[in-house]
């Protein structure tokens, strides 16, 4: 069926504009090399990290952009750009955060040993940090309240006193995407170190527009 002739010229004129808009949106995110990106993620003025201090502990919740997650997964392997983009696309559907629990001053016992008396308690603490964090973490927004699909403790090989838990939130069945507007709260219910409940509040749009990894310099 032929298209109405009056419509096509108007649409044709608009197409370049639409193309430019799409290009601008996709390129809108700042590109950074790995070191710059790591600094940006730690910069509180960018709104990608939130921090709370209670007692002698500091809790820091940091957003991890999809490109960084993909890059980390591929670290140590032969870099393949197509594979990288496939992984980035996968991670773009998720939201990943890192929760670091660190002593306020870098001295004394490691976080995993705080308040622990004896091997049994240490084993319990280790088990809870490794396998019990999903229940203690939530992503809350106007449209969702969910636990992470994955919450894993980074292995620090006891080399430092802080511990970091990576958490990944995925859209539930029936949900097209995770919140893109309004606020996103990562809630940590801490009954391990008795620092209470923490709400790390992020602006969803800030997360969507977080800087991305300039892969050209980082895959080497």
Among 199, 204, 206, 219, binds other proteins (CB under 8 A): 199
Nearest Cα neighbor of 186 from 203, 171, 172 is: 203
Range in contact with other proteins (rule: CB under 8 A) among 51-59, 69-77, 91-99, 146-154: 51-59
Label residue 173 exposed, middle or buried (CB < 10 Å: 0-12, 13-18, 19+): exposed
Regarding 42 and contact with other proteins (CB under 8 A), the answer is no
Regarding 197 and contact with other proteins (CB under 8 A), the answer is yes
Tokens of 165: 């838990």
Smallest separation, CB 105 to other proteins (Å): 15
Regarding 185 and contact with other proteins (CB under 8 A), the answer is yes
What pairs with residue 103 in β-bridges?
A: 57
Regarding 142 and contact with other proteins (CB under 8 A), the answer is no
Between 33 and 145, name the residue whose CB sits nearer to other proteins: 145
Among 65, 88, 190, 218, binds other proteins (CB under 8 A): 190
Between 146 and 214, name the residue whose CB sits nearer to other proteins: 146
Regarding 60 and contact with other proteins (CB under 8 A), the answer is no
Among 71, 84, 97, 200, binds other proteins (CB under 8 A): 200
92's CB contacts (< 8 A; 6+ apart) are 66
Regarding 196 and contact with other proteins (CB under 8 A), the answer is yes
Is residue 161 within 8 A of residue 111, CB to CB? The reply is yes
Query: What distance in Å separates the CA atoms of residue 123 and residue 107, rounded to the nearest whole number?
Result: 22
DSSP 45-94: GGTSEEEEEETTEEEEEEEE-HHHHHHHHHTTS---HHHHHHHHHHHHTS
The residue ranges that bind other proteins (CB under 8 A) are 50, 53-55, 183, 185, 189-197, 199-201
């Amino acid at each position: 069926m032929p298209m109405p002739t009056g419509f096509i010229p108007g649409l044709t004129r608009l197409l370049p504009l639409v193309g430019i808009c799409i290009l601008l949106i996709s390129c809108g995110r700042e590109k950074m090399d790995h070191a710059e990106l790591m600094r940006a993620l730690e910069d509180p003025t960018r709104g990608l990290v939130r921090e709370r201090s209670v007692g002698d502990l500091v809790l820091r919740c940091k957003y991890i952009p999809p490109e960084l997650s993909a890059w980390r997964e591929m670290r140590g392997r032969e870099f393949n750009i197509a594979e990288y983009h496939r992984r980035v696309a996968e991670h773009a559907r998720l939201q990943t955060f890192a929760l670091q629990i660190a002593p306020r001053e870098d001295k004394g016992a490691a976080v995993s040993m705080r308040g622990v008396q004896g091997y049994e308690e240490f084993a319990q603490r280790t088990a809870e940090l490794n396998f019990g964090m999903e229940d203690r973490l939530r992503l809350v927004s106007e449209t969702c309240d969910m636990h992470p699909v994955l919450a894993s403790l980074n292995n620090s090989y006891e080399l430092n006193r802080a511990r970091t838990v990576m958490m990944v939130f995925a859209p539930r069945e029936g949900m097209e995407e995770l919140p893109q507007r309004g606020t996103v709260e990562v809630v940590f219910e801490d009954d391990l170190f008795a620092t209470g409940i923490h709400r790390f509040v992020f602006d969803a749009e800030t997360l969507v527009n977080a800087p991305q990894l300039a892969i050209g310099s980082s895959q080497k």
